[in-house]
Structure 1
Amino acid sequence: MRSPVQTYLSGLHARVRAADPFAAHPTPGFRTASAGSPAEGLSVLYGGDPDHLGIAMTTADGFSYRVGDACEEFSIQSISKVFVYALALMDSGFDLVDGKIDVEPSGSAYNDLSSEAGSGRPKNALINIGAIAATSLVRPVGEETAFERILAVFSACAGRQLSLDEEVLRADYETGAHNRGLAWFLSSWGIIEGDPNPAFDDYTKQCAISVTAADLSMMAATLAHLGVNPATGERVFPEDVVERVLSVMLTCGMYDDSGDWVTTVGLPAKSGVGGGIIAVLPGQLGIATYSPPLDRHGNSAKGIVAHEEMSADLGLHIVRAGKPGRAVIRSHTTVDRDHSSLRRSPEDEAVLEEHGDRAHILELIGDVHFSGFEAVSRLIEELDEPQVVVLDIGKVDELSGSALMSLARLAATMDEEGIAVGVVDPDALLRRHELKRALLREAAEAGVVDGAVEAAPTDGAEGQSRLPVRIFASRHAALVWAEDAVLLSEEDAGAQPVRQQGPVLGGLSPAVRAVVRGLLTAETAEEGQVIRAPGDDFDGIRFVVSGEVHSVSPDGELMAVLRAGATFGEYALGTGAGQPFAVIAAQRSRFELLSAEALERMEAESPAAAAALWRSIAHDGYARLVQAVRGEERTE
């Protein structure tokens, strides 16, 4: 099944790739007028193809999405500063690093001489002068040089062995006079102790390491996962180091454009003049883009547009961050294990026991934002040939706009593949008109004209919508719908059909059935009518002809749903205290009553027929008990 996240990223990639981020006027469909004017002499560095655009996203549990040129290699450049700063904190300690490098935004370009008057201390570790100082604080381990240690740590974050781009390294050496001067400036103030050339060399090399957007998204996800690579499980950085690094990224990562970035994207981030940008949603996601054309700040112009769109569309701004991933999935079961209270025939029960694993129920909980629904959609993708998927949001506190759009994409995809989607929404959290708007927007972005969606009602009876999502006010109603879908599917495949004849009359011989039918009288109950109340004396046995009635316990719990063919009333005989629970008409229903007086007459005039009837009633009651016990065992 096509992932709704992958669908969204593919659509975003197509739109951003076709846009002109340097246009004088706002680009239609985007929230920002432009990403800034092109950089003079920096529009594209290192021979990158200006048409390249790659987007990658990796979740905090290690699953990656990639679109476009996400596997195209380019040099990491200044994005390296983030991970080297983390290494410096690990190797030299917070006190020593803080004494040599401040944590304040510079408000200046990446290559400015932004240092503290009187001490030479760089403003932060994410501008060139601060990064060179941080590189000098990385310590060799054993026979490993400082740069070899840097490369090994970068590789551990990426989850694969990275390498140095020798061509980029030569170019950086040839144009590195300014950075070499910064290294000597740091040495003059004692920030770099001893010869500053090794620090300059290692800094130049670290910037020339070759990566892809896919690599960078995994590296960012390692930071999101508090220093543990989510794919390999290797701990690369301690948690306190990651906390510091992400804090500095949030305020300093985009140079003199950091303020605009925080207000529009709102994620810890870092850019590089190689065309890459990484962003981190702590605990949830690592995101990376690659597009070589740079704006006047030295940031990837289309990369900024892509990140702004993702933050707004998916609700990623750090002030709106919700629970991480699978924390929103409370339970996952199937209708062969978690069935409705509808009384079904033994034949239908057998079909559901064999094929009910094709109807899935996912119960969600808490606040559902993008990353949470991403985990839901990924779980659904992994299901083996599902026929029905029900999302129970009865315990959801908040369903964000990004999650709603993800639901719309998921529903559209599943509808195309013939998978039915239902939502249990007892608190009307998911308003019908909001879902319609989301589906229409998704159809418009995909260029699809869907008459069924456009004609969908915004209100009406439960589940009676032409949208590719059925909405139910109760879990029971959704379970009945899911079970019926499985039964009807098996009927179409040649299995036993859904049965309407009740087992009590169905188990009698034609002669006995005729005796019983001769004693029945017709009754009708309107919706909401209490047909039997707790404590009522036995007044006969009712056979449901049409409609639906509910057995409800004294504390309001739904115990059983009865439809055509089912019986009720006989339990009042066995308790000694009359009717044990209420029976209420859920809709207008018709019955045939075998009254207590008629039963007495039958026992007197046709004792053999009466005995056969009681045997059938006892057999049906035992079958119901077995079904109930089996259901309890499955859900334990």
Structure 2
Amino acid sequence: MLARGCAELDGAKVKSPIPDYLQVVVDHSSYDNPGHNASYISELRDADPNRVGACLSTVDGVVYAAGDTDVEFTIQSISKAFVYALALEQNGLEAVLERVGVEPSGEAFNELSLEQVGTKEIADGYTSTGLWIRRRSGNSGPLETDTRRPLNPMINAGAITAHTLIGPAGISADERFELIRKGLSAFAGRDLGVDEAAFESEMNTAYRNTAIACMLRNYDLIDVEPEDVVKAYTRQCAISVTARDLALMATTLANGGVQPLTEERVVRPEVVRQVLSVMMTCGMYNGAGDWVSSVGIPAKSAVSGGIMAALPGQLGIATFSTRLDKHGTSVRGVRICKRLSDDMGLHIMHAPEPARSVVRRHYRLQAPDGSRTVSVLSLQGTITFTSAERVIRALSAGSALNATSADGVVLDLRQVYSVDNVARRITRESVKRLRAAGYVVYVIDPEGLLRMVAQEKGPDTDGICDASVNDLSTFDSWKRLTTPPMMRRLTSDRALPRLADNFKMSLFS
């Protein structure tokens, strides 16, 4: 049996073609090397522009790599997505939204800008322009000033604000940074260090971020000294990672917040949804629109040459190549991601095949004495809302077609791998309504996916079926009946929705 994170056993005679495919993608995307290294600090300017690598990581932690995937570089702006996640995990969405918005800025990532979200009454104090105002004696009525916030957490103003939301009030800048470093390490599944040389170089030119922090302090969006927060934020951006690290960090997001190798829950699923949503619209600087339409995977890029992308429920992707386009994004990294998206159908707007195959078989069985007949639905695969809706239509149609000839229903889930929450709820409700309509309901669910219990006689409450069995052996002596033509069409005929007018039982009745 393969260990978690292992693609194949040592000595395997048949090797996976995925690493070879990934190498082809990297090679084909590197036919030239346009763009330029970021030049504002020496460590980025002097990085080897010929290095290029790509990683894919599955939700069970298997990493496929090609090229320079173990070369360390500074995480830079990619850290923004993960610190935003940590801030949401600690403070909740509403509290974070009071400080940082979610709208694309349409401006440079290091622009000194805030959006106005309202006004508030003040006594003596600063106006929205930073001018101190004191009421004159005898004046009455409210004095108002703007309330503002950064547009999103993927620009520097929003990222610096999110940085200050980590940890309890009153902690030092160094303590806050350490919490962030440990948080990012949890996403990566290993202890991450800091490139001190890159940190020192970037601090020497951190004037713009200092100006941003002063602006944030002026509007009370941060409550720490600007110089302290800029130092800690710059150190956050200097954390060292590899493409392999970023792939696993992306996969932690794709896996609903659970690190695939350590199996630690780093953040809650609702946090992941928020982070990926903002990454989708704001994560790729001013090239976000092109990225969404051509690649279509939530992603974040960095001026160090990294790109991190996460496709929910499927995989994480990371690339590394230092030369950047006009938006500050790796040229070859974008090429690689687009090729992977096109080849593998990863675009988030890609429409999958309809979930018709969820009903594996649909037939009837009759007791030896002819006194009882059951309709059997054998299901397979993963049941989501769309596939559950098809099962329910089949149940509803069957209740109409078998109204006088069947008194029971068997739901066979032995070939089902998983059932999501909404599918579970509506399927249980359908069982409840079947029982209320007089049908005896048997459930074959050895994995307990529907979480139903058997009850011979009792109230038609949620989660109750008439019998829970492990297989069809109960019906070994029963005769399989010829399936009526209409029944044969239930799982494949596009005319199925037209039967709705005749359904005896409707989920939404």
Q: Verify same fold: TM over 0.5.
A: yes
- Distance (Å, rounded) in 2 between the aligned partners of 1:192 and 1:207: 19
Which of 1, 4, 7 aligns to 2:20? It is 7
Partner of residue 93, structure 2: 94
Partner of residue 79, structure 2: 80
Contact 2:37 2:49 survives alignment (8 Å): no
Could you report, residue by residue, the CA deviation over 1:554-605 in whole angstroms, capped at 9, with x for unpaired residues?
969xxxxxxxxxxxxxxxxxxxxxxxxxxxxxxxxxxxxxxxxxxxxxxxxx
Does the C-alpha gap of structure 1 residues 158 and 242 become closer, same or farther in structure 2, counting only changes over 3 Å?
same
Does the C-alpha gap of structure 1 residues 14 and 39 become closer, same or farther in structure 2, counting only changes over 3 Å?
closer
Does the C-alpha gap of structure 1 residues 14 and 185 become closer, same or farther in structure 2, counting only changes over 3 Å?
same
Partner of residue 405, structure 2: none
* CA-CA distance at 1:321 after TM superposition: 6.8
- Give the partner amino acid of 1:18: Y
* CA-CA distance at 1:105 after TM superposition: 0.5
- Distance (Å, rounded) in 2 between the aligned partners of 1:366 and 1:4: 26
Which of 148, 168, 173 aligns to 2:178? It is 148
Secondary structure of 1:231's aligned partner: coil
- Distance (Å, rounded) in 1 between the aligned partners of 2:19 and 2:67: 11
Secondary structure of 2:303's aligned partner: coil
Secondary structure of 1:319's aligned partner: coil
* CA-CA distance at 1:40 after TM superposition: 7.8
Partner of residue 47, structure 2: 48
* CA-CA distance at 1:38 after TM superposition: 4.9
- Identity, in percent, stands at 45
The TM-score, its normalising length taken from structure 2, stands at 0.59
* CA-CA distance at 1:165 after TM superposition: 0.6
Give yes or no for the alignment of 1:19 onto 2:49.
Answer: no
Partner of residue 270, structure 1: 300
Partner of residue 267, structure 2: 237
Could you report, residue by residue, the CA deviation over 1:162-220 in whole angstroms, capped at 9, with x for unpaired residues?
10110110111011111111101100111112422332122101100000000000000
Does the C-alpha gap of structure 1 residues 139 and 264 become closer, same or farther in structure 2, counting only changes over 3 Å?
same
The TM-score, its normalising length taken from structure 1, stands at 0.48
Give yes or no for the alignment of 1:138 onto 2:166.
Answer: yes
Contact 1:38 1:296 survives alignment (8 Å): no
Contact 2:248 2:316 survives alignment (8 Å): yes
Does the C-alpha gap of structure 1 residues 300 and 7 become closer, same or farther in structure 2, counting only changes over 3 Å?
same
- Distance (Å, rounded) in 2 between the aligned partners of 1:312 and 1:82: 25
Does the C-alpha gap of structure 1 residues 247 and 119 become closer, same or farther in structure 2, counting only changes over 3 Å?
same
* CA-CA distance at 1:12 after TM superposition: 0.6
Partner of residue 62, structure 2: 63
- Distance (Å, rounded) in 1 between the aligned partners of 2:31 and 2:240: 26
Which of 202, 221, 233 aligns to 2:232? It is 202
Partner of residue 198, structure 2: 168
Partner of residue 111, structure 2: 112
- Distance (Å, rounded) in 2 between the aligned partners of 1:48 and 1:321: 40
- Give the partner amino acid of 2:193: S
Does the C-alpha gap of structure 1 residues 555 and 92 become closer, same or farther in structure 2, counting only changes over 3 Å?
closer
Partner of residue 501, structure 2: none
- Distance (Å, rounded) in 2 between the aligned partners of 1:174 and 1:78: 18
- Distance (Å, rounded) in 2 between the aligned partners of 1:272 and 1:101: 20
Secondary structure of 1:307's aligned partner: helix
- Give the partner amino acid of 1:132: I
Bigger Rg, structure 1 or 2: 1
- Give the partner amino acid of 2:157: I
Contact 2:38 2:323 survives alignment (8 Å): no
- Give the partner amino acid of 1:305: R
* CA-CA distance at 1:93 after TM superposition: 2.6
Could you report, residue by residue, the CA deviation over 1:322-380 in whole angstroms, capped at 9, with x for unpaired residues?
59xxx99x9xxxxxxxxxxxxxxxxxxxxxxxxxxxxxxxxx9579xxxxxxxxxxxxx
- Distance (Å, rounded) in 2 between the aligned partners of 1:217 and 1:149: 21
Does the C-alpha gap of structure 1 residues 62 and 40 become closer, same or farther in structure 2, counting only changes over 3 Å?
closer
Partner of residue 155, structure 2: 127
Contact 1:39 1:296 survives alignment (8 Å): no
* CA-CA distance at 1:92 after TM superposition: 2.6
Partner of residue 297, structure 1: 327
* CA-CA distance at 1:241 after TM superposition: 1.1
* CA-CA distance at 1:145 after TM superposition: 1.3
Give yes or no for the alignment of 1:177 onto 2:176.
Answer: no
Partner of residue 622, structure 1: none
Pairing 1:228-377 to 2, within 5 Å after superposition: 228-320=258-350
Contact 1:186 1:192 survives alignment (8 Å): yes
Moved more, 124-133 or 191-200: 191-200
Secondary structure of 1:164's aligned partner: coil
Secondary structure of 2:203's aligned partner: helix
Does the C-alpha gap of structure 1 residues 42 and 184 become closer, same or farther in structure 2, counting only changes over 3 Å?
closer
Could you report, residue by residue, the CA deviation over 1:249-272 in whole angstroms, capped at 9, with x for unpaired residues?
000000111011000011110000
Partner of residue 220, structure 2: 190
**Segments of 4+ in structure 1 off by > 4 A?**
37-44, 140-144, 364-367, 553-556
* CA-CA distance at 1:96 after TM superposition: 2.1
Does the C-alpha gap of structure 1 residues 188 and 366 become closer, same or farther in structure 2, counting only changes over 3 Å?
closer
Which of 211, 217, 225 aligns to 2:247? It is 217
* CA-CA distance at 1:18 after TM superposition: 2.3
Pairing 1:591-606 to 2, within 5 Å after superposition: none
Root mean square deviation of aligned Cα: 2.9
Does the C-alpha gap of structure 1 residues 42 and 175 become closer, same or farther in structure 2, counting only changes over 3 Å?
closer
- Give the partner amino acid of 2:89: M
Instruction: Note the residue ranges of structure 2 that are not aligned, 5 or more in a row.
Output: 1-13, 117-145, 361-379, 384-414, 416-479, 484-509
Does the C-alpha gap of structure 1 residues 322 and 200 become closer, same or farther in structure 2, counting only changes over 3 Å?
farther
Contact 2:306 2:319 survives alignment (8 Å): yes
Instruction: Note the residue ranges of structure 1 that are not aligned, 5 or more in a row.
Output: 23-36, 331-363, 368-394, 396-552, 557-636
- Distance (Å, rounded) in 2 between the aligned partners of 1:103 and 1:246: 11
- Give the partner amino acid of 2:245: D
* CA-CA distance at 1:155 after TM superposition: 0.8
- Give the partner amino acid of 2:276: L
- Distance (Å, rounded) in 2 between the aligned partners of 1:278 and 1:114: 26
- Distance (Å, rounded) in 2 between the aligned partners of 1:292 and 1:2: 31
Structure holding more helix per residue: 1
* Equivalent residues, number: 322
Contact 1:213 1:290 survives alignment (8 Å): yes
- Give the partner amino acid of 1:134: A
* CA-CA distance at 1:82 after TM superposition: 0.4
Give the number of the structure with larger relative contact order, counting CA–CA contacts within 8 Å between residues 6 or more apart. 2
Contact 1:224 1:282 survives alignment (8 Å): yes
Could you report, residue by residue, the CA deviation over 1:536-562 in whole angstroms, capped at 9, with x for unpaired residues?
xxxxxxxxxxxxxxxxx9969xxxxxx
Does the C-alpha gap of structure 1 residues 54 and 192 become closer, same or farther in structure 2, counting only changes over 3 Å?
same
Contact 2:37 2:322 survives alignment (8 Å): no
Secondary structure of 1:58's aligned partner: strand
Does the C-alpha gap of structure 1 residues 279 and 123 become closer, same or farther in structure 2, counting only changes over 3 Å?
same
Secondary structure of 1:311's aligned partner: helix
Secondary structure of 1:67's aligned partner: strand
- Distance (Å, rounded) in 2 between the aligned partners of 1:92 and 1:17: 43
